[in-house]
Amino acid sequence: MHKKRSDSWTPVSCWREAFAIEHSDHVALVGGGGKTTTMWSMAREYARLGPTVVTSTTKAGAPPGDVPLVTWAAELPSGHDLQAAMGTALQLSRLVALGSGVRDGRLEGVSPIVVDEVFLRCGAGYIVNEADGARMKPFKAPAEYEPVIPSTTTLCVIVVGLDAIGAPIDEEHLHRPDKIVALTGATMGAPLSAEHVAKIVRVYLERLEGLESVRAAVLVNKADNGPDVPEVAALASALRDLDLAEIVVATQRDGTRLWKM
């Protein structure tokens, strides 16, 4: 869904406007640099429109205390049990979390097949799914098995923390630096560049090719000084020719502000 882009950033008021969210959408968040914060921010916005489920096919931050949790540990849906559990929860709250449990303060993931079932048959108008992990780092390269994308996904948002640009490519600063080196040709310990990020984004896009219903976008997160900084300009230039539905810039410090190109 490549589209011609302007050279300027336009402020937008909400996630729905930023990513052209439809009346029903299944969003997968991948990458690093604020996925969990983004997940809950998106989900609370969508819940004002209709029944919304937050889940993970890897691990995510534990649900807030005001969000009901449905626990489903089985690999597959079982008859009407999952539908009944989700239906009851969504009657009590328009925002529900789904996981196989919570351990060490993290929401344990469920099978992609379970997420598909929830979207198709359990009354969820929106799903926001954390589909790979980054160990709290601002950028990562995916492992061979990542991202874990359910087949009903309609929007995949590749999250990049702006503070990753210029950071050393090593274990302290980035997740899976060995993969970043292998996939980009970078040198271990060298500063991460916008071009390196674009090469990893291209890898994600290649891994989404079998899912024809998925549109892909990039979220440049933690842009606390807004979009008009050299690091954002470098990323926008490096990403410009990739097949992306949207490129969005965000700061979520002291409230959420969003811009799109």
How far apart are alpha carbons 207 and 104 in whole angstroms?
Answer: 30
How far apart are alpha carbons 12 and 9 in whole angstroms?
Answer: 9
Class of the domain covering 10-51+126-260: alpha beta
pTM, rounded to two decimals: 0.95
Compute and round to an integer the Cα radius of gyration of the chain: 18
How far apart are alpha carbons 239 and 16 in whole angstroms?
Answer: 22
pLDDT digits 0-9 by tens, 138-193: 999 999 999 999 999 999 999 999 999 999 999 999 999 999 999 999 999 999 99
pLDDT digits 0-9 by tens, 192-251: 999 999 999 999 999 999 888 899 999 999 999 999 999 999 999 999 999 999 999 999
Fill in the amino acid letter for 143. A
How far apart are alpha carbons 49 and 188 in whole angstroms?
Answer: 46
> For the chain, what are the domain ranges?
10-51+126-260
Nearest C-alpha neighbor of 137 from the set 216, 12, 32: 32
Please give the structure tokens belonging to residue 43.
């989900």
Q: Answer for the pair 155, 215: CB distance below 8 angstroms, yes or no.
A: yes
Query: CA 173 → CA 93, 130, 164, 227, 247, distances in Å?
Result: 38, 21, 8, 23, 24
pLDDT digits 0-9 by tens, 102-142: 888 888 999 999 999 999 999 999 999 999 989 899 999 99
Nearest C-alpha neighbor of 136 from the set 36, 56, 219, 43: 36
How far apart are alpha carbons 226 and 170 in whole angstroms?
Answer: 27
The secondary structure element, H or E, covering residue 31 is strand 25-31
How far apart are alpha carbons 8 and 259 in whole angstroms?
Answer: 10
* Band (1; pLDDT cuts 50, 70, 90): very low
Q: Answer for the pair 217, 223: CB distance below 8 angstroms, yes or no.
A: no
What sign does the dihedral 224-230-235-241 (CA atoms) show?
A: positive
